[in-house]
Structure 1
Amino acid sequence: MDVLRGDRAEWTFDGESVDIRFHTGAFKDAMLKELGRCTVPVSAISAVDFDLADSRRKRWTLRLRLHDRTDPYAAAGAMLSEGSEPFRLVGPASSELVAEYLADQIRFAAHRAAEEAGGSGPDPRLATRLVRPLPLHIQTSEGAAVFDGATVRLIWTGVSAAARKKKAHRREIRLSELTGVEWVPSDGWEYGHLRLNTVEAVRTEVTKPKHDLACLLCDEGKEGARALMMAATITAHLWARDQGAMGELES
């Protein structure tokens, strides 16, 4: 196995997949700490980028580009910072040759996997292997969100919950009712939020997240990271649901 250590994780490549173990510590990225570990099959990879991120400091960057509808973090976290990208690794010049060699090996394996697939593309259900296992539960200062694969439950019991949400107490939305999910991080002044989009929401006026019964507010740091994790996990299962529905139509 080939092993490469970088700024945020240790990557291990066995020819079939890239096993990523994220570093923990007081100053490490909150989202990557929440994820902990992730295994990326080469069939999920469309391209591998390798370059010098900073020629003055002589640091390299290695990034895995995943196929469409395979990277739930990029899909849910449109405002994701580079430091939170799970499939990006930065390292020092001393390991540049090892990193470049590993990039070539992963690129070759991904190309071979694509050829074996015969142009059919990866299974969208691959994305569910890149997120946290179910059931997933997150807690914020406003309340909680729970996803079991079939239903998302929003529960508002926290000190920051508005009167409308406290009165409603909770809401359950089935995966079949969802059209998508979005994550907006806190800007340091206002809360961020996790919003569940449904067909019903298209027909009604969208209210502010503080009063929206399809939203869970989240603060900076761990809360924002947990909300992003939930958004990515739901997105992955939405893709798998859509793939299943397509398969039923074709059969």
Structure 2
Amino acid sequence: MEKLRGKQGTWTFDEEKVVIDYATGWLASSLNKALARAEVPLRSVAGVDFRARGTGAKKKGWEMRLRIRGQADPFAAVGAAMSGEDPFLLSGDAKTELVAEYHADQLRLLAERAAAQGAPPADAPARLVAPLPLHIQVHEGTAAFDGSSLVLSWTSEATKEKRSAQRREFPLERIAKVEWNPSDGWDYGVLRVLAEGGAPPKKPVPAKRDLSCLLFGEGGEQAQALLMAATVTAYLWAAGSGRPEADEGAAALSSGGEAPAIGAGGGPEGDDGADGSGDDIDPESRIVMARIRKLGELHAEGLLTDEEFSAKKAELLERL
């Protein structure tokens, strides 16, 4: 395997993938430190950009960047560019420019060969984000994602409405999209969950009172929220939903409602259940069966280990 070191970490690649081990020092990118490691299938790479910074005696170094195909880059989908964070950038000093340019040429050739073999693998986006379970703690609370549901919890820093609710669970199959809006330096950033089929509120609800929102600060908190948004997006894609073309019609949950959760009962109007048995199965059981089916899909795609799948399935079956 080929290996190239730079300021952002180390890239190791072969004919199938690029493994990125990010630098974690105090000067490292907040997103890279939160991410720690990523594995990029070469079939997900649309191109390899390389440029030298400066010329002649004024050379300042080099930059190399992987361009990820649109449907395989969850960071771009949630707006990572707004923060200036780029997990697919590597740079170095002028003295290593020739070596870096050689590796860029080799990587570009391997990516072109891989692209000829077909589309990116189904689990490609999930290989770019954080391993599960993922848990973050920010200004007004926490967010936790285990591959099947996203849970928002609030602390004493949150408003009365959120403190009263304490927590809210969003099953993956009920999520249309997760939005990430960075801080502008004056107000907090917002991590917002848009529910599949959720009715839009009659009037806008401020994020500080919206039970589908989690507020975060700048720096490390902003990077953690970005990583959470990208990770949930990657698993939505793996489940076959949340793609850009499916985003139309998604709306935020109103602050007075509750996200459907296991044991909550009910489903979308006209829903006949995950197993097609209609009224023969009560609403609570339909939700549980839908969750089990989704877990089976994630397991079949290699996104859950045998142990994780068995444990979660047993837990769900106990609720029937």
TM-score, normalisation: structure 1:
0.89
Residues 1:27 and 1:81: Cα distance change in structure 2 (over 3 Å): same
Q: Is residue 176–residue 242 contact of structure 2 (8 Å, CA) maintained in 1?
A: no
Q: C-alpha offsets along residues 62-93 of structure 1, whole Å, 9 cap, x if unaligned?
A: 010111221111111344444x2010111111
Residues 1:79 and 1:162: Cα distance change in structure 2 (over 3 Å): farther
- Three-state SS of the structure 2 residue aligned to 1:69 is helix
1:25-40 aligned at under 5 Å gives the runs 25-40=25-40
1:63-78 aligned at under 5 Å gives the runs 63-78=65-80
Higher Cα radius of gyration:
2
Unaligned runs of 5+ in 1: none
Structure 2 residue aligned with 1:104: 105
CA RMSD for the aligned pairs?
Answer: 2.2
1:105-144 aligned at under 5 Å gives the runs 105-117=106-118, 121-144=119-142
Return the offset for 1:166: 0.6
Q: Is residue 79–residue 185 contact of structure 1 (8 Å, CA) maintained in 2?
A: no
Return the offset for 1:38: 1.1
Could you tell me the percent identity over the aligned residues? Answer: 47
Q: Is residue 181–residue 234 contact of structure 1 (8 Å, CA) maintained in 2?
A: yes
Q: C-alpha offsets along residues 9-49 of structure 1, whole Å, 9 cap, x if unaligned?
A: 11112232111111112222111101111121211111111
1:37-56 aligned at under 5 Å gives the runs 37-55=37-55, 56=58
Residues 1:78 and 1:126: Cα distance change in structure 2 (over 3 Å): same
Unaligned runs of 5+ in 2: 244-296, 298-320
Structure 2 residue aligned with 1:171: 168
Residues 1:244 and 1:225: Cα distance change in structure 2 (over 3 Å): closer
Higher fraction of strand: 1
Mapped to 2, the partners of 1:135 and 1:20 lie a distance apart of: 20
Between 1:127-136 and 1:185-194, the stretch displaced more is: 185-194
Q: C-alpha offsets along residues 141-183 of structure 1, whole Å, 9 cap, x if unaligned?
A: 21111111111111112x3201111111111111111111111
Equivalent of 1:189 in 165, 176, 186: 186
Q: Is residue 125–residue 243 contact of structure 1 (8 Å, CA) maintained in 2?
A: no
Structure 2 residue aligned with 1:230: 228
Return the offset for 1:102: 1.0
Look up the equivalent residue of 1:8 and give its one-letter code.
Q
Mapped to 2, the partners of 1:46 and 1:8 lie a distance apart of: 21
- Three-state SS of the structure 1 residue aligned to 2:147 is coil
Mapped to 1, the partners of 2:140 and 2:174 lie a distance apart of: 23
- Larger relative contact order (Cα-Cα within 8 Å, sequence gap ≥ 6): 1
Q: Is residue 79–residue 184 contact of structure 1 (8 Å, CA) maintained in 2?
A: no
- Three-state SS of the structure 2 residue aligned to 1:116 is coil
Return the offset for 1:202: 5.4
Structure 1 residue aligned with 2:144: 146
TM-score, normalisation: structure 2:
0.71
Q: Is residue 182–residue 188 contact of structure 2 (8 Å, CA) maintained in 1?
A: yes
Q: Is residue 48–residue 107 contact of structure 2 (8 Å, CA) maintained in 1?
A: yes
